[in-house]
């Protein structure tokens, strides 16, 4: 099974999301794709209560505690309570704009899994890191913190999203060959760092200016198991991306 993740980011309002969800509910979507929509915290209950039953809802982030004096934070337990089944962690915008470290991302991953959420774990390099030829070093460093923190059996509830930072919201897209190269290297890393079983079974999806026009070629790559979609997930064309592997 492949995975189609939509990430609304800090976009939408109750009216626009009602309309969007209605369009998704009416759409013909590939049943072999696990589809998840990540909404801003305030809209998670609305989307979760109105979305078709074969699709799931995610939070876009969470904190490392179940409750307490952490003003402005949201716990994985709270996300689960209002209908989320997934959470996105380690997104480049959290890492690079808000300064979240590999270790903090790993800590959040552990907490989310303990609370019963599935995790979309994002990794990816900056433009200067790709130009310096250290993409794989960066990705392995980001993954290594999580490998050290989670149990082998927990990988059944983690999807890795490879998102080259230089391709997010820029209109630039990694070529299908570039995506495949990194995905294959991630799988090889998992084989050594965790186990052959985890390497084979973990889904690795691509993110970075994905749209209905560029997704089909990427979907044909052996190690591309779906997509994490930003802006296009706020449009009906998201369904075309979900159906890209048909």
> Could you give all domains of the chain from N- to C-terminal order, each with its CATH number?
2-242 (3.20.20.70)
For residue 200, give every residue at least 6 positions away whose Cβ sits within 8 Å of its Cβ, in sequence order, or none.
187
Catalytic residue among 60, 107, 140, 163, which? 163
Q: What is the mean pLDDT of residues 21-36?
A: 97
Q: What is the pLDDT of residues 88-127, one digit of tens each?
A: 999 999 999 999 999 999 999 999 999 999 999 999 999 9
163 catalytically annotated: yes
Does residue 171 have a pLDDT over 90? no
Does residue 72 have a pLDDT over 80? yes
| Closest by Cα among 130, 204, 103 to 162 | 204
Does residue 9 have a pLDDT over 80? yes
pLDDT at 160: 98
Does residue 29 have a pLDDT over 80? yes
Residue 209 or residue 161, greater confidence: 161
| Closest by Cα among 212, 215, 217, 150 to 177 | 217
183 catalytically annotated: no
Catalytic residue among 34, 60, 77, 91, which? 91
Does residue 246 have a pLDDT over 80? no
Q: Hey, how many other C-beta atoms are within 10 angstroms of the C-beta on 132?
A: 12
pLDDT at 189: 98
Q: Is the CB of residue 139 less than 8 Å from the CB of residue 184?
A: no
Residue 151 or residue 168, greater confidence: 151
């Amino acid at each position: 099974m492949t995975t189609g993740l939509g990430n609304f980011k800090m976009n939408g309002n109750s009216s626009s999301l009602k309309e969007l969800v209605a369009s998704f509910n009416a759409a013909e979507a590939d049943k072999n794709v696990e589809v998840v929509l990540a909404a801003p915290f305030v809209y998670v209950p609305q989307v979760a209560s109105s979305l078709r039953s074969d699709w799931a809802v995610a939070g876009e982030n969470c904190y490392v505690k179940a409750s307490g004096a952490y003003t402005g934070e949201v716990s994985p337990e709270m996300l689960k309570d209002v209908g989320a089944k997934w959470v996105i962690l380690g997104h480049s915008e959290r890492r690079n704009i808000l300064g979240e470290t590999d270790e903090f991302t790993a800590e959040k991953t552990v907490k989310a899994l303990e609370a019963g959420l599935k995790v979309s774990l994002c990794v990816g390099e900056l433009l200067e890191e790709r130009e310096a030829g250290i993409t794989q070093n960066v990705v392995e460093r980001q993954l290594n913190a999580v490998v050290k923190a989670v149990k082998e059996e927990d990988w059944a509830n983690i999807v890795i999203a490879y998102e080259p930072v230089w391709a997010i919201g820029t209109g630039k897209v990694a070529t299908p060959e570039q995506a495949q190269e990194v995905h294959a290297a991630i799988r090889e890393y998992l084989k050594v760092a965790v186990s052959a079983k985890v390497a084979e079974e973990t889904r690795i999806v691509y993110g970075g200016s994905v749209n209905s026009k560029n997704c089909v070629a990427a979907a044909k790559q052996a190690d591309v198991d779906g997509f994490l979609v930003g802006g296009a997930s706020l449009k009906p064309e998201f369904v075309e991306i979900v159906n890209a592997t048909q």
